[in-house]
Every structure is written in C-alpha cells, then in structure tokens.
Structure 1
Amino acid sequence: MKKWLMLLLTVGLFMLLVACSDDDSSGNNDSDDNNDSEATETDDSEGASGSGDGVELDFWVFGSAGYDVLADEYMEENPNVIININEGEMEDVHNNLFTSISAGSGAPDISMIEVSNIAKFMEASDQFYNLYDYGAEDVKDKYLDWKWLQAESVDGSFQLGLPTDIGPTTMFYRTDVMEEAGFPTDPEELAAEIDTWDAYYDAAQKIYDKTGKPITDSPELMFNAIRDQQDQQYFNEDDELIMEDTVKEAYDFTTKMIEEGYVGQNSLWTPEWGSAMEDGSYATLIGAPAWMIANVKGNAPDSGGNWSLTTIPEGAGNWGGSFLTIPAESEHPQEAYDFIEWLVSPEIQLKSFHNNGLFPSAPEVYEDEEFLATTDDYFSGAETARIFAEAAESVQPVYMGVNYSIANDEIVTALTNVAVEGADPQDEWDAAISRIESQLERQ
C-alpha cells in the first residue's frame, strides 16, 4: 500500500511540474512571436544571399552605356533591389577600383572594366568573385568565344566578368573620295575590290594619283587595323615580349605607306583628326569599331551621305568593349550576379544596341530580323548591324597582357615620329623596343 501511495504522489508531482512548464511556455509565446517577426523584418530588409530581395548594389560605370535606364527597369521588376549607379570617366573608374581593392575597402558591388584593363585586374583575381561560382558556366555559350576568353583565366578556372559590348573593326569610307578615284561606292562591291592588304595598297596608290589625298589619315589606326587581326600581338600568355614575330609586319606596312604619302599625320582624338572627318581629306577610316559611328557623326555633322562602311581587308579585329565584375567586398554576390546576368542577356543587349549603340557580344542577337535590318542614312543607308556582325564573328581570340599599354604607347610614338618628323622606321622600331624592355624591367 505504501508503494502505491508513493507512486501516486510521484505522478501527481510530475503532472504539477508539467502544468507549470506549459504556463511558462504560454506566457513566452508573445515574446517568441515578436522575435520571429523581428527576424523576418530583418531578413526582408537585409536580404539573404541569393534571394535578390532587400539589397542595395553599388554599380560603377563609365561611358554612355545607358545602364541607368536599364537599372530602373530591373528595379521595377525586382522592387526589393536598389541599384545605385556611380558614373565616372573610364580612367577614374579603373584607378578608383584598383585603389579600393588594394586597400580592401571602398569597392562597389559591381564594376565595369574595359578590355584593355582586364589582364591587370586578373592579376588581382583574389579580390573578385569567380563568376563560375554563381552561374556563369550556364550562360557562357551565349557569347562570342573570343569575347568570353578575354575575361577568363588562362587555365579556364576563373571568370572575372560577364561580357558587355564589343568593337569589331570595319572600314569606314568617304563615298565622294572613292567615286572621284574611280572606285565603286556600294559596300559589297568596294569590299570585293579591296579584299586584301595588297589590294588596299594598290587602292592607296590610285586614290593618291587621282585625288592627291591619302587613303587614311591616322598612322595609329592604319597600324591597329592590321595588328588587331593577329591572334598574338605584343605578349604571349607567359607575358613574354613577342613583338618581332607578330606585329612587326603591321608596323612595316604602315611605315611604308607613310613614307609614300598614303597615310596622313593626324593623331587620334585631336581637333585636326576630327575636322578631317568633315573635310573629306582622306578616303578611309580604317579599323573603325562600331562605337566610332557616334564619333564620326559628332565630328562631321554635315557629311551625312558622304560616309559609308564595309568590311575590312582580310578579316577584322576588335577595339574596345567591357565586362561587368563583382569585387570580393560585395556582401551580396548572388544578387549582384543575378543583375549583371540580366543586364548582358541577349534581349537586353539588343535594347542597349537600339538605345545607346552598344554592339552586342551575344551572337543570338545577330539572328534578330529587326537587328539585321538596321541601316543608317548618315552612312549612305549601309546595313550597319549586319556588317559589324559579320566582322564580330571573324575576330580571333588574343591575349593582351598586363603590360599591353606600355608596348602600344611606344609603338604609337614610333609611328608618330616617322609620320611627323620623317624619322627612319627601323631606328624608331629599335628605339621603341628598347624603351619597352626598359620599362618592363622596372615592373
């Protein structure tokens, strides 16, 4: 009997303790609910990685890309994403970005990087997110191979940025000068007649004899046009100088043309270079990329109908274009990636082309009938989109290297000395190589 009494007392005491515990839990329910609510509100305001909700993204841009308008469109579709655009000059953006990642603070969530600076930032790839970790592999096939490779590590394991626009090169020409020299002015007919660099040289002789004008006015552009067709230029992938075996032929061709009076003396971006577009003082703007259309129109507003364009002899190169990157300081890499993937998608690149003239790096756009039907009355009704698309698909991949600008600047100096001062081409080449090697030794 005593054992049963003790058992009943134990059970009763246990039930009393449980009831008290339930009362305490019930009394804390409101508090827990409030905590859950506060946690939810915090999540909504700060966002979780990959959610694309409730985050602010700082975006550094340069040029006239029109990304502010497109960012507004993205924010309308994704109301919990705020994109703050900071526009600056290209050089300033690159300098500020390099300073920020070097200091470990101050970098944005997203930054544009122009192709000539890609190798420099690739050396600091540990300060950027690898876009292959966020879905880049799934969109890789949407872009031109050579464009994609410009921002990929040599071993293919790291993707620094997603491709934006490109600058495939063509031949702009003055229809009035060509007609005076006895050449056809139709783009396809002229391209068939001047289809090699030897044919271009012959055309230069004929144009000079008939009109007294050079075939082109910029030594730098003449050299660039041939240089950019090469699959190797100043450096190999080990950053070894290889100019003697790659671009010397382009240099020799250019200096020969200069010495014979077929290439003018104007330096790029000078008032004289701009004025010559209006004056019609030469025949071709050789190696001109897609974005040069706006430059010609701006410098020669009264020359509409006297300009046209066609393919460049022996293929095409590329001049310009950018990538969108995500610095490692970003606290929202997935949201940043989602935005830039949308921004450079084929559909949005088509919008960028129509809105701001950015030539697409996604060949899917080249199949769009509206795109292919694009013509330009200023350029004598030429099918500009089709011509640039054909050029884009003939570009060869090329490794530029972190010291690209050092080599290129010295070659431009040599060409200028030959054109303006009548200096000996070989002496100038040798001096340029010496200056380049000296600078590389100090790197």
Structure 2
Amino acid sequence: MRTSSRPKGAIVASLAVSALVLAACGSSEDGADANGEVKLTINVYGDNFSLPDNRELYDEYEKAHDNVEIVENRSDFGTHHQNLQARLTAGSGAADLEVVEVGQVSGYIGQPDKFVNLTEHDVDTGQWTESTVQRASTPDGGTLIGLPTDIGGLAMCYRTDLFEQAGLPTARDEVSALWSTWEDYLDVGNRFTAKVPKVKWFDAGGHVFTGIIGNDEETFYDADGELIVERNDAVRDAWDLTVGAIEDGQSAALPEFTPEWNTGFQQGQFATITCPAWMMGYIQANAPQTKGKWDIATIPGGSGNWGGSYVTIPSQGKNVEAAVDLAKWLTAPEQNIKLFKAIGNFPSQRSTWSQPEVADFTSEFFSDAPAGKIFPASLEDAPVQVYGPQSGVIGQTFAGALNSVEQGTNPDEAWDKAMSDIKAAAGDG
C-alpha cells in the first residue's frame, strides 16, 4: 500500500481516527467462542484493501468462512505504526492482523518473537521478488514477519490541460521524452511556470526528493545497516536539486495527505506529481471532477519504487491460525488484482504482471494510460533499495524539512535540523 516519503503508501488523513478510539479496538480477547465463531481484527492505515465498497473483500471472505467475522480499524499512517509498536512492547492490545508499510517494516525485524513466523505456515515466497520478501525477513532468512500486499512502482502523473496551456506536448510518449533525468524534469518545470505563472510545476518538494533517491540502492542506510544519510552524496544531491526547484518557484508547497493537498488536486494548482501506482486511486477519490485531464508518463531516470505494505500477525493474538489464513487470502493474486483495478494498488506478485487483467489494464480516468505496463516497466531496472530501522521516519523528516524550506526556512538550517532529528530518532548521537 501507499507510503509517504513516506510513507505508501500511501496515508489518507481524512480517514484518520484517534489513538483513543483505536486503543479500544485491539485483538480479540478469547479466540473462537463456544460456537466456533471467530472474530478477527485487522488494523490498517490509509486505504489498504479499500475497494469502493470498503467491506467488499471482507464480505467475500466471510461468505466463504461463515464462522468468521472481520472487524477493521483504520487510522492515519503515523498513529497506526506508533500504536502497533506500543502494543508490541506492552505484550497486548494488537489486532489479529496488522498492516505495516514497507518503509516501516525494517523497524520490526529486530522483534521477530513478537510476530508469527510465516515461513512455518506453508507460504509460497517464490511468488514475490526476492527483495520484497527479504525486506520483511530476519537477516538469516529464518523468519518472515509479513506477507507483501502491493508495490508502488513509479511514474509521473501530469495534467494534459495544463501542459497544453504551457505549449508543452501532451501525448504521454512525447512527455516522457522531455525528461530522461530529474534535471531535465526541473528544466521543463521552469519552462512551464514561465508560461503558466499561476500554476506550480509540482505539489511538494518531498515527493520530488523521494522520486530522485528512488534510483539509488543506498540512501539512508548502507548494506551493513549503518546510518549514512549525512555523508551520502546521493541524498545531499537530491536535497540540493529539490531545494533549487523550490527556490525557482516550482513547488505548490502542499504537504501530502492534507486538506490543502486535496484542494490542490481539485483546483489544478500543480501540473505534475511523482506518482506511484497507488496515487492513481488517491487522485480519483479526491478529485473525481478531473477525470480525463490526467495522463501518466515515465518517471525521470526510468525506474523507481515508492510504496508497498505487509500483512503481519502479532504472536500475542488469540486467533493465529485463522489470522494467517486471512492474511494469505488478502495477499493472494486474485485479491491484489481486484485492488489494482479498483484503486490502483499495483500487485506485488510477479505472476500477475503478465496476466491480461493487469498487463492490459488501462485507466479511463488517466486518459486510457496503460497503467498495467507503465508501472511494472518502472520496476524492471529499479535498484533493490536498502532499508533500515528508521527509514520511514527519515523519509518523513525530509518531507517536513523540505516543506519548511517551502515556507521560508533557510535550506542549510533546514538540513542541519533534519540531520539532528534523524540522529536522535536513530539513536546515533
């Protein structure tokens, strides 16, 4: 699922519920009752498994398992992951199933005893790429704490009507040819804002930053798990390039998953957005009146990934076997294909990518863009990125720091504060 720079995504603020409410919605107390009835709770963030009828997948499962009732608790990204860690530490209160975002999952790998080891439950890990499985596995590969749901891929969504106003090409192949690099993309941005000064080129600097570092294997951590963010030239170069675009006036300065961001989509306040597959569903849900005004081009650099989630089973649960069965079903190709077609979450199972339902899928909302081909193409040469325990937090820190630059903070001061906050979060100085 979605993650912002995030963390997928992929995080819908309007769907947030308070931590107080969630505290009352933990795991089932007693497993199956005297009649064999099982209540399974699942805690999710954003729009995981959220078909137009949010209960559709759950209802389908319950129909085939008439002794099972599924109760979903939905919260915002930060609250969800904070609550999960608190409940793992306390040893109680977690749901039977907990969805964890890809940038956060590495933070739980060091606590394998707190999760069910899914390698012991007849899971075919070969259906996913090795790197996808590796991210949710202990270093020795002996424990798998989560089953992958979706994967983001990466493209560039753009407003064809605004491109036309700027005298830019609107056909997706011609647009893709405008930017083989991120420098090219930002050069086109300067051309755009010179022609259409009332509209910004992109929504927020944090998303551009996330896209740029999506082409690098090592960003915040190296392969040995060492925090390298401050001395990594790739990260600093991405920062400097993004800051330069902000200073050129290209950013709409709209923090992600805020009402202001939603308004930006609705009113056409920016012309492009770094676009993982799940972003399609977000745009459709929040700006339905823009149908037919969007299209999808290749991401600068040609590859990258942003987003994805895992379904985990906390070991403290009373309904482990039933929870594992539901987790396997929710992450099966059939369910992932339904989610892709409905809300854009691209399935993580490689076998689905060549199936006609996925490979031939075009999005009417996005001017019939061949989404089923664009997103897997972006994954073909994408590096297997190294994640560390605080990767998700670090991404959020950079998004916040760049937003502060958009609000007038000196870039060097914003960088220094980000480094201080990151070291504090990572326990490194």
Q: Give the TM-score normalised by structure 2.
A: 0.81
**1:60 and 1:87 in contact (8 A); partners too:** yes
The answer to whether structure 1 residue 105 and structure 2 residue 102 are counterparts is no
Q: Note the alpha carbon deviations across 1:120-153, whole angstroms, 9 max, x for none.
A: 22222111121111123xx112113332222112
Contact 1:154 1:237 in 2 (8 A): no
Q: After the TM superposition, which residues 248-397 of structure 1 pair with which residues of structure 2 at under 5 Å, given as runs?
A: 248-285=236-273, 287-397=274-384
The answer on whether the counterparts of 1:164 and 1:361 sit within 8 Å (CA) in structure 2 is yes
Q: Of residues 27, 38, 41 in structure 2, which corresponds to 1:56?
A: 38
**Residues 206-228 of structure 1: CA distance to partner in whole angstroms, max 9, x if unpaired?**
22333234421311111111123
Q: Deviations over 1:268-301 (max 9, x none)?
A: 233333222233333211x222222232234433
Aligned match of 1:433? 419
Q: Which amino acid aligns with 1:380?
A: S
| Segment drifting more, 340-349 vs 205-214 | 205-214
Cα offset for 1:89?
A: 0.8
C-alpha displacement of 1:200: 1.1
Q: 2:6 is matched with which residue?
A: none
- Whichever residue aligns with residue 227 of structure 2, its letter is L
State whether residues 40 and 323 of structure 2, in contact with CA within 8 Å, keep that contact through their aligned partners in structure 1: no
Question: In proportion to residue count, which structure has more helix?
Answer: 1
Please tell me whether the aligned partners of residues 337 and 357 of structure 2 are also in contact (alpha carbons under 8 angstroms).
no
Q: How big is each residue's C-alpha offset from its partner over 1:147-193, in whole Å with a ceiling of 9 and x where there is no partner?
A: 22221122322111111122222101011222233322111221123
**How far apart in 1 are the matches of 2:158 and 2:332?**
33
Match of 2:406 in 1: 419
Contact 2:390/2:425 (8 A) holds in 1: no
Q: After TM superposition, give the deviation of residue 82 of structure 1 in Å.
A: 1.6
* 111 and 435 in structure 1: CA distance in 2 versus 1, 3 angstrom threshold: closer
Alpha-carbon separation, structure 2, partners of 1:293 and 1:371:
15
The whole-number CA distance in structure 2 between the counterparts of 1:95 and 1:267 is 21
Distance 1:223 1:93, change over 3 A: closer
2-structure distance, mates of 1:418, 1:107 = 38
| RMSD of equivalent CA atoms | 2.8
**Comparing 167-176 with 365-374, which one deviates more in the overlay?**
365-374
Distance 1:362 1:431 in 2: 39
Q: In the alignment, is residue 190 of structure 1 matched against residue 178 of structure 2?
A: no
Aligned partners of 1:146 and 1:395 also within 8 Å: no
Whether 1:167 and 2:152 are equivalent positions in the alignment is yes
CA contact (8 A) 1:144 1:393 kept: no
Local SS of the residue matching 1:327: coil
Query: Of 171, 174, 178, which aligns to 2:163?
Result: 178
**Letter of the 1:60 counterpart:** I
Say whether residues 1:82 and 2:68 are aligned partners.
Answer: yes
Identity value in percent:
31
Question: Structure 2 CA distance, aligned partners of 1:442 and 1:205?
Answer: 39
Q: Distance in 1 between matches of 2:342 and 2:369?
A: 19
Aligned pairs for 1:132-281 (under 5 A) are: 132-136=119-123, 139-212=124-197, 213-243=199-229, 244-245=231-232, 246-281=234-269
Unaligned runs of 5+ in 2: 1-31
Taking the aligned partners of 1:259 and 1:356, their CA distance within structure 2 comes to 34
CA distance in 1, matches of 2:158, 2:181: 16
1:56 corresponds to which letter in structure 2? Answer: V
Once residues 280 and 415 of structure 1 are traced to their aligned partners in structure 2, the CA distance between those partners, rounded to angstroms, is: 22
Amino acid at match of 2:263: S
Counterpart of 1:274, as a letter, is: N
The unaligned stretches of length 5 or more in structure 1 are 1-44, 48-52
Aligned-pair distance for 1:431?
Answer: 3.3
Q: Does 153-162 or 61-70 show the bigger shift?
A: 61-70
Partner AA of 1:146 in structure 2: S
Number of aligned residue pairs: 389
Superposed displacement of residue 313, structure 1 = 0.9
**Contact 1:57 1:108 survives alignment (8 Å):** no
User: By how many angstroms is 1:248 displaced?
Assistant: 1.0
Conserved? CA contact 1:173–1:309, under 8 Å = yes
What's 2:8 paired with? none
Distance 2:141 2:118 in 1: 12
Q: Is the 8 A contact 2:40 2:319 kept in 1?
A: no
What TM-score does the superposition give when structure 1 sets the normalisation length? 0.79
C-alpha distance in structure 1 between counterparts of 2:70 and 2:405, whole Å: 48
Q: What letter is aligned with 1:434? A: S
Deviates more, 1:93-102 or 1:257-266: 93-102
Q: Give the whole-Å Cα distance in 2 for the aligned partners of 1:106 and 1:415.
A: 36
Equivalent-residue separation in structure 1 for 2:259 and 2:80 (angstroms): 26
User: Based on CA coordinates, which of the two structures has the bigger radius of gyration?
Assistant: 1
Measure, in 1, the Cα distance between the counterparts of 2:425 and 2:310.
Answer: 28
1:305-341 deviation digits (Å, cap 9, x = unpaired):
2211122011333333211112212455444333322
